[in-house]
Amino acid sequence: MPESEQLLALYREMLIIRYTEEQLARSHQMGLIHGACHTYVGEEAIATGVCAHLRPDDAVFSTHRGHGHALAKGVSPHEVIAELFGRSTGCSEGRGGSMHLFKPEVGMMGTSGIVGPCILQATGAGYSFKLLKSDQIGVAFFGDGAVNNGAFHEGLNLASIWKLPTLFVCENNMYATEVPFAYSAGNPHVGNRGPAYGMESLTVDGNDVLAVYEAAGEAIQRARGGEGPTLIECRTYRTRAHAEGMRDAGYRTPEEVEAWKARDPITRYNGWLLENEEAGPETLAAIEAEVKEMVADAEEFARNSPWPEADTVSEHVFSQR
């Protein structure tokens, strides 16, 4: 069980992700976001539970649904919102948008518009860290849609044969856009696939932040200790549409969505903290108010930020050296 301070930090981090995502959804409706916006609402426990164990020099590689990973890894809501607004103060200085959030200074090595490569790149980070004899680790977050891609097979095999310090976190939210995972996987138990590669693997409730925290903690300790990679399947659900502005019907039932909303990771954790007297209602309310204000400030910062200068468009194709 984490210390009290850590328990509250987990709560605060999930709220940062939730409030930022809800702000982004509103901003999308107002036309302030120019491209795609895939929110992480409902899945906050996973990024939070994993990244709580990571240092700034650990490397995270993420997906198209990656705002939560960036925030949990230490990118500020200001830099995330500004990036989606296309402003020069965004974490990718307006060159990336939602699916290309980069802040290597805190180990956020990119969200991605392509499903799969993050698995290989996290494997490569593991290779670097092993070669450099450091105790850093590489972490890949990816959805169920990635595990039937060749990158999953090749990446897990390479990480296994060289015992790389890499953690593979599958966020199984049951749908690849609208294609059910139950339809597209011959073996729908991702958490059972590790042994096929000679690797530890397990399944956890991805809507239970403490379960994720515990499983990730053990796997990360093994990776840092040279004991190799782990695959963790986190069962979860996105409660908003695949992307903002998309229809969200025809492939899942309202009853299913409501059932998962009843398992909301933040509401559940709030209840757990109160029940176990880890925090009183005032403490939690104070955290909620503080985070709300931070996100409101971030939105204002983003909205008032300058656009990138058009004459910088050709910079950074190659290194400046």
Partner 1 sequence: MRELTFVEATLEALDSAMARDPSIFVVGEGIGARGGNFNTTVGLFDKYGPERLCDTPISERGFVGMCAGAAMTGTRPVVDFMFFDFILDAFGELVNQIAKMQYMSSGRLKMPILLRGAIGIGHSAATHHSGSYYPIFAHLPGFRVVVPSVPSDAKGLFATALQSDDPVLFLEHKSLLFNRGEVPEGEYTIPFGQARVAREGTDCTLVAIGSMVDKTLAACERLAEEGISCEVIDPRTIAPLDMETVLASVHKTGRLLIVDETFQPCGVGAEISAQVIDRGFDDLDAPIRRLNGAHVPTPYSPTLEEAIVPEAAEIEQSIRDLLAE
Interface ranges with partner 1 (CB under 8 A): 59, 61, 92-93, 95-96, 100, 102-105, 109-110, 112-114, 117, 119-132, 136, 138, 150-151, 153-155, 157-158, 161-162, 315-321
Pairing of strands 179-180, 175-176: antiparallel
Residue 110: CB minimum distance to partner 1, A: 7
Sequence-ordered alpha helix ranges (H) in 52-102: 67-72, 77-84
Closest CA to 135 of 221, 200, 239: 221
Name the residue nearer to partner 1 (CB basis): 139 or 209: 139
Q: Which two tokens stand for residue 155?
A: 């990446």
Name the residue nearer to partner 1 (CB basis): 107 or 265: 107
Directed axis angle between helix 265-275 and helix 4-29, to 10°? Answer: 150
* Residue 140 and residue 46 in contact, taking contact as beta carbons nearer than 8 Å: no
Q: Which two tokens stand for residue 129?
A: 């860290």
Residue 93: CB minimum distance to partner 1, A: 4
Name the residue nearer to partner 1 (CB basis): 11 or 85: 85
Residue 158: CB minimum distance to partner 1, A: 5
Name the residue nearer to partner 1 (CB basis): 133 or 247: 133
Closest CA to 70 of 99, 94, 93: 99
> What is the residue whose two structure tokens read 């990360």?
220
Name the residue nearer to partner 1 (CB basis): 15 or 109: 109
Q: Residue 177 — left, alpha, or beta (φ > 0 → left; ψ -120 to 50 → alpha)? A: left
Residue 314: CB minimum distance to partner 1, A: 9
Name the residue nearer to partner 1 (CB basis): 31 or 319: 319
> What is the residue whose two structure tokens read 């990118």?
75
Residue 6: CB minimum distance to partner 1, A: 27
> What is the residue whose two structure tokens read 């559940």?
268
Residue 212: CB minimum distance to partner 1, A: 23
Give the CA dihedral 15, 96, 85, 302, nearest 10 degrees.
70
Residue 210: CB minimum distance to partner 1, A: 30
- The CA distance from 137 to 141, in Å, is 13
Considering only CA atoms, give the Rg of the chain: 19
**Count of helices and strands (H, E) across the chain:** 11, 7
Name the residue nearer to partner 1 (CB basis): 105 or 290: 105
